Amino acid sequence: MERLWAPWRMEFIQGAKTGNCIFCKNEDGLVLYKGKTSDVILNKFPYNNGHLLVFPARHTGNIEDLTPQESLDLFSLIQKSVSILNLELKPDGFNIGLNLGKAAGAGIADHIHFHIVPRWNGDNNFMPVVAETKVMPEHLKSTCNKLKPYFDKLYRAS
């Protein structure tokens, strides 16, 4: 079995738990889009630059509770997010997924959210293995500033 080491996530794991849902409060300055039923934020603890979280605006931890409109809007926003990331960051591929429930690996199980992780050929190098360090080539605010204008256009179009 191979192991994926992500030591930079320890801040998140050991961080103070306030009981407030990070998706409902959206106060980190990393909000890219707030729609009628779905929102997008940059992941504060990303696996790669441009790691987005797409989630229903309504607080729910159960995918079966989504209305047909919420489901459609979520997937549409995932598609648009991939298009935006392709335009601006030009990744070679993506990991897109949902961890449903704590047993499935959901760090925040009470508000479902999809991860969109841009991937580049060679983005896994020796640093995480040798130095237990993930090199992030761009600051979160810089990535946010690059992506925000694209999401602002979505907001005006909706």
| Structure confidence by residue, pLDDT tens digits, 85-107 | 999 999 999 999 999 888 888 88
What does the alpha-carbon distance between residue 48 and residue 43 come to, in Å, rounded to a whole number? 9
Q: Which of 59, 113, 115, 139 is catalytic?
A: 113
Domains detected in the chain = 30-157 (3.30.428.10)
What does the alpha-carbon distance between residue 133 and residue 126 come to, in Å, rounded to a whole number? 9
pLDDT tens-place string over residues 28-83: 779 999 999 999 999 988 888 999 999 999 999 999 999 999 999 999 999 999 99
Residue with tokens 């999401």: 151
What is the distance, to the nearest Å, from the Cα of residue 138 to the centroid of all Cα atoms in its chain? 16
Residue with tokens 């237990």: 132
For residue 80, give every residue at least 6 positions away whose Cβ sits within 8 Å of its Cβ, in sequence order, or none.
Answer: 154
Whether 115 sits among the annotated catalytic residues: the reply is: no
Task: Retrieve residue 74's tokens.
Answer: 């979520």
Mean pLDDT of 125-150: 71
